[in-house]
Structure formats: C-alpha cells, structure tokens
Structure 1
Amino acid sequence: MDMQAWRSRLMSGQWFSHLPSLLQDSLLAMARVRRLSPGQRLFKRGDSPCGLYAVLEGAVRVGAVNEQGKEALLSVIEPPHWFGEICLFDGQPRTHDAVGVGHSILLHIPQSALLALLDEQPQHWQPLALLMSHKLRLTFINLEQLALLPAPARVAHRLLMIADGYGELEPARRVLQLPQEQLALLLSLSRQTTNQILKDLESQGILNLGYGEIEILDTERLRALATI
C-alpha cells in the first residue's frame, strides 16, 4: 500500500480525522513504515523516547512482565489507533513494553522531527494533548470499574469499549478478534472466571464465541449488563 492508502485507513479513526488537514499532511510527510513480526518488540520499558506510532495492520500489546513471568496487559492497540505520545510531553523513558501481535504494520513519526514541527507550530500541541487526555480518561474509568463493578459487568463494558475502538471507530464492530486469555489479562481476571462469564453470555444469546474471536449478537443487552 502507498501513503494515500494509509491515510484512508487512518481517516477511519476519530482522532486523526479531526486533525487540521495541514497537520495530517505534516504527520504523513514525516512518517516511516515500520513492520513487526509476531512477538517482535517495538520498544521496552526504560527505552529513550522514539516518537509517535499509528497501527495500520495487526496489533501491538502494551504491558509488562515481572521476573516470575506474570504479565500485566494494559492495552492491545489496533488500527487506526495512535500511541506513544506521553514521551513527547515529558521526554522521559518508555513506561512499558510494546510488542507486535501477529504481522503488524505501523507508521512511525520520529521524536526529533515531531518536536521540531511542534517548535515551529506550537498550536499543534493541543490535538496531541487531546490524544493523551482521552487515554487518561479511559484509565480512570477502568480503575473505577476495577474497584466497583462485579466481574460480569466489567467484561461486558470492556467488550463494548473494544467494539467501538475505545471511541475511535464508528460504527462499532460486531466481531472482535479477541482471545479469551487476552481479555482476562486486560481485566485482571482469571482465565477461568472470564471463560465462565463469556459462556454465560453465550447461553443467553448475547455473544457467540469462536476460536480467538467474540461476536456481539445483542448490543443492547450487553450494554444493560455493563451498567449493573
């Protein structure tokens, strides 16, 4: 695909599509295509800032693994999401590991080039701040749900969030490429608990479970469950 095809894909996301056209053009002019093989690391915790990324194909897992091999999965970033913007603001090292899921294609906006653009045109800091604040808002919501909602409601809410790309996609997807183990890690639930909740939802006709995917059959009933 050429850059025009990538632009079309990025325009399906709310953040990029609402940028001023001049900023869109500038980002794409600076962009480099980066390809990741399955399991290939993009960056690790402690790495120096390297810029902004957009996922075009595949996905990127962001999280950490401790010395005992236990994984904390913060997010799985899919097209057409952008990430990596925090280091633009504070210049600090990367906070987590980012690893490719399957064969993935990213656009990379190098840190130095982007900072040079922002020095020349500081008005463009605002949309980048909005990108970061949107994710901060989602983080607060997830922390609240972890403390207050029962597990079935958390599962339902997270499925709805993934379906609409955490606010990036319209219309929302019905079929999610989402292994149950991955969903369990995102929600800090055991795989057994997550599996039982999903099977209960399937028995009620709300979901259809396939190998590595979840199909939402009844969005309204799933949304009702998410508000309990």
Structure 2
Amino acid sequence: MAAPKIDPREFLKRLPLFDDFNAEELAVIAAGTTELHATRCQPVFHRGDTCNGFYSVVYGQVKLGFVSAQGNEKIVEIVGPGHSFGEALMFMERPYILNANALCDTLLLHISKAVVFEELERNPAFARRMLAGVSRRMHGLISDVESYSLRSGSQRIVSYLLNEQPPGDSGRVLLSASKKLIASRLNLTPEYFSRVLHDLVSRGMIALRGREVTILDADGLRAFAS
C-alpha cells in the first residue's frame, strides 16, 4: 500500500522562505509542489539533468557531489531536514552540475520553477528571501574554500565536531553520515579522518562509539581549532 501523501502546506510553512505566507499564498506554492520518496542510494537527479525547480528535505538526507575523472567521489554538501537545494541553478536556468543521491530513506518536496517564478514577480519580500538563501549557500562555499586553504585537516575536523553539537546538548555529536562521506565533505581521506579522531580520543578530548562522538574537552578542542 502506498504511503499517504502529506499536506505540503504543513511543511512549507515551517521553512524560512515561507514563514510569513498566509494560507492562500501557501496554497499557491503547494499547488506547484510534488513529493518524492527516495530509498537509500537512489538518485534524486544526475549531473546534466534539467533543473525544473528546487528541493526541500522533509526527512532523511541527500548528498550532493560529483565523481572525478579518476572515479573518486567528492561530496560538496550533505543536506538534512528543513534545508533545501537546487535554487541557484533554477535561477540560472542551467542543468544540474552535481549528482544528488539519498543517503537513507528520504522524503523530499519539489517546488516547481514555474510557481516560484510567478511568486517572485508577485511578492518582492519572497524574492529577497530567495536571494538571501542563495547568498547563504554561496557564503558557505566560500567559507569551505577558505577552510581548505588556511586550516589544517585536524582543525577542519575539530571545527566540524564543534559545529555539529546540537544546541543545549551535553557534548554529544551523532555523525550525520559515514566517516568516508564526512571526510570527503571536509576534503580529506577517510584514513586521515579516522586517524585524527583516534588521536583526539588518546588526548582525552573526545570519546568515540560508532558514529557517536562525546566531546569531553570543548575548551581544548576550541584552542586546537583556532
């Protein structure tokens, strides 16, 4: 039996892009929204596919990346619930330049380009929020390049752990993906990533159990990352 469809308005209104839309405006966006259920490793789109809108993750995770000429996969971003992807290429009206694959059972909403462009012309505030969202992603990519250029691999890993701590949590970090994928996201080899984690364990800064990392010395990690 097919899973029941969700009401896209209930999810869309939780996104920053649509948080001040009234019921009528949400209904217009929802009319141009479709669900996509993706199982683990299932492609959402391939590099070169036509971009007809953007996606938002309801639950699950999607990895964005590409495969080099040597056959190595490089992860550019791992997108989780409440976040979106594909907006920039939608505006540029260009094909996708990355591959997108589900990392686990994932539910996505696809918001069509046609309904977005229509709303942009009607609602200047929505246009500003879309521009802000694309700008935040560009700022994040610039920060990545700066990190790769100016920080050591160890500093990148420590910064990642500190940034992944949930607000108000007692120092526990659940790695959002496999160590191999996170290493690729940080532009490191999996072997180096594991070696640094075990070095931090030996220094008494963290405890490691599978994908769960417990931060034991946050001040020491911050000093290490600076």
Counterpart position of 1:77: 79
Separation (CA, whole Å) in 2 of partners of 1:133 and 1:63: 20
CA positional deviation for 1:50: 2.1
Per the alignment, do residues 225 and 214 of structure 1 end up closer, same or farther by CA in structure 2, a change over 3 Å counting? same
Separation (CA, whole Å) in 2 of partners of 1:62 and 1:115: 24
CA positional deviation for 1:4: 7.3
Counterpart contact for 1:54–1:106, Cα < 8 Å: yes
Look up the equivalent residue of 2:113 and give its one-letter code. Q
Separation (CA, whole Å) in 2 of partners of 1:216 and 1:187: 19
Separation (CA, whole Å) in 2 of partners of 1:24 and 1:205: 50
**Number of residue-to-residue matches in the alignment:** 218
Counterpart position of 1:178: 177
Separation (CA, whole Å) in 1 of partners of 2:113 and 2:143: 29
Structure whose residues are more often helix by fraction: 1
CA positional deviation for 1:90: 1.0
Counterpart position of 1:7: 11
Any idea what SS the aligned residue of 2:104 has?
Answer: strand
Counterpart contact for 1:176–1:215, Cα < 8 Å: no
Counterpart position of 2:21: 21
Counterpart position of 2:196: 197
Q: Percent identity?
A: 25
Counterpart contact for 2:17–2:126, Cα < 8 Å: no
Per the alignment, do residues 190 and 3 of structure 1 end up closer, same or farther by CA in structure 2, a change over 3 Å counting? same
* Match for residue 150 of structure 1 among 135, 149, 152: 152
Separation (CA, whole Å) in 1 of partners of 2:201 and 2:97: 37
Look up the equivalent residue of 2:154 and give its one-letter code. P
Superimposed CA distance per residue, residues 37-80 of structure 1 (whole angstroms, 9 cap, x where no aligned partner): 11111111111112111111110010001343211110111111
Look up the equivalent residue of 1:185 and give its one-letter code. S
Separation (CA, whole Å) in 1 of partners of 2:9 and 2:202: 41
Equivalent runs, 1:38-57 vs 2, <5 Å: 38-57=40-59
CA positional deviation for 1:96: 0.5
* Match for residue 66 of structure 1 among 65, 68, 90: 68
Counterpart position of 1:102: 104
Give RMSD over aligned pairs: 2.7
Per the alignment, do residues 219 and 57 of structure 1 end up closer, same or farther by CA in structure 2, a change over 3 Å counting? farther
Separation (CA, whole Å) in 2 of partners of 1:113 and 1:5: 14
CA positional deviation for 1:93: 1.1
TM-score (norm 2): 0.83
Any idea what SS the aligned residue of 1:106 has?
Answer: strand
* Unpaired segments ≥5 residues, structure 1: 165-169
CA positional deviation for 1:16: 4.5
Look up the equivalent residue of 1:208 and give its one-letter code. A
